[in-house]
Amino acid sequence: MSDQMQTFGYDFPASSAAQRNRVLRNTYVLLALSMIPTVLGAWIGVATGLTLALGGGLGLVVFLAGAFGFIYAIEKTKHSSTGVWVLLGFTFFMGLMLSRMIAMVLGFKNGSQLVMTAFGGTAGVFFAMASLSTVIKRDLSGMSKWLFVGAIVLMVGGIINVFVGSTAGMMVLSMLGIGIFSAYMLYDLKQIIDGGETNYVSATLALYLDIINVFQSLLALLGIMGGERD
């Protein structure tokens, strides 16, 4: 495909530094754009209490079905501009799903402060990983299998803890989540920089999931450790 046809959702050959930089730059643009429906979804969820009834097993089923359904659709449409719209729909859905935890944290006396701290901490992790990815010269592709195993262990542990309801378990899972998805963030950014990922939609999806998981883990940890009740 010619340079004139290079728009969101299409693959680009990683044959030059300029092309790799274009992929990275436009991924950042799409990632920033994806935060708008996320915030909108979270606001609607908190304002309406739409997801408060989705507790326990029901909430887990809705989340897993919705998330995996959207991810499948994004991967199927990522080579066209439709993939961008499906991705934005997914980020709205994720905002709705996050609203339950956000509403619970906002129930603390210092809830707003905790949410902003989690947001700032996530932004700090992202900028740190983005900076680190530009100075690391070694190939990080070997990290993928270990990170994948870690993510699976984390997911299984999270599913079990939904039914067990252990506060200590949630703290451990949250700390693991911050570590694993911060490392995933570095890995995904390095993949773009090295030309291993050449599709804007796939690159944005990967980084978005990293960011959301770090934010959610930070927010849960802050709520457990720093939440002040009236």
The per-residue pLDDT for 58 is 72
What's phi and psi for 156, nearest 5 deg?
Answer: -65, -45
All structural domains of the chain with their residue ranges: 3-226
Helix axes 56-77, 143-164, angle to 10 degrees: 150
CA dihedral 63, 57, 173, 27 (to 10 degrees): 0
| pTM of the predicted model as reported, rounded to 2 decimal places | 0.87
Res. 55 pLDDT band, cuts 50 70 90: low
pLDDT tens, position by position, 149-158: 989 999 898 8
Among 225, 226, 207, 216, CA closest to 118 = 216
Identity of the highest mean pLDDT range in 1-15, 54-68, 135-149: 135-149
